[in-house]
Structures are given as C-alpha cells and as structure tokens.
Amino acid sequence: MKKQFKNMKLKALACSFALGTLVYTGMASADIHIKFHHDLPEDSAQHLAAERFRDMVAERSGGEISVEIFPNNTLGDDVEVTQQLQMGAVEAAIIPTAKLSGFVPAMQIVDLPFLCARHGRTPGGASPPVSWPQRTKRSATAEG
C-alpha cells in the first residue's frame, strides 16, 4: 500500500513538472526572428523573392515570426554563411549550388545540365533540369 502511494506521488510530481514546462515552452516560442542571407543587390530578383517570403511569413504567422533580409553578402560570402547556417547563426539563405559543392561534392551534378544528350541518361539516374526553352514552352501551353 505504501509503495502504491509512493508511486502515485512520484507520478503526480512528474505530471506537474511536465505541465509546468509546457507553460514556459509556449512563452519562449512566441517571437521568432529569422536571418535571411543572399548575395545579390537589393534591386535583384532574389531580393524581391526574399521580401515576398518575409511578407508571407509575417502574414501567415500573425506577426509572430519576423524575417530580416541581409543582401549583398552583408553577413559574409556564401561559404562563410553556409558555415553560419550549420552553426545556427543564420536560419535561411539563397546560395548557388556551385558554392555548396565544397560541402557536398554530389551537388556538382546540378551545375552540369547538358552533360548528357538525352533526358534520363545522366550518371546515377539524376534527371537534368528543364532548360529555359522547355520551361517557357510548357508554361505557354499550360496558360493556353
């Protein structure tokens, strides 16, 4: 009987501790700030896309998540920012795949779109990206 009472007290203590932590967790995650890096000037398409992303995040999160954009390699070059991403100092970035190949050599395949003459014949079964004429032709037929 005493053992059951002791187990009940232990369970009650654990539940109250868990409930208390949940209350504080909700308060801690109320405001989130995202640092967003890209390497082009403020009049570039990347910057416009980053601004659109910032606006959509603010709208959909009800203002709880804010995005601060750092253009023109403000936080460092792309290799430095990739390291900052790994450490958690920067949360988001637009980085060209060519600069990521030093971290992941397999990323080099993305920068070789015309390696093979026919679709589906790339090494390792990777599909080559769709070329610009194919992309515009598809979008023109889709819009009808």
Residue 127 DSSP code: P
pLDDT digits 0-9 by tens, 111-129: 776 666 665 555 555 555 5
Tokens read off for 63: 């203002």
Is the same domain home to 43 and 98? yes
Q: Are residues 21 and 40 in the same domain?
A: no
Residues 87 and 39 in one domain: yes
Q: CA distances (Å), 8 to each of 14, 16, 22, 37, in order?
A: 10, 12, 21, 52
Chain center to CA of 81 = 13
* Mean pLDDT of the region 7-24: 54
Residue 50 pLDDT grade (very low, low, confident, very high; cuts 50, 70, 90): very high
**Whether residue 118 sits in one domain with residue 99:** no
Q: What does DSSP assign to residue 106?
A: G
Number of domains forming the structure of the chain: 3
**Better-scored residue on pLDDT, 1 or 15:** 1
Confidence grade of residue 138 (pLDDT, cut at 50, 70, 90): low
Average pLDDT over residues 59-84: 95
Residue 87 or residue 22, greater confidence: 87
Tokens of 88: 């958690």
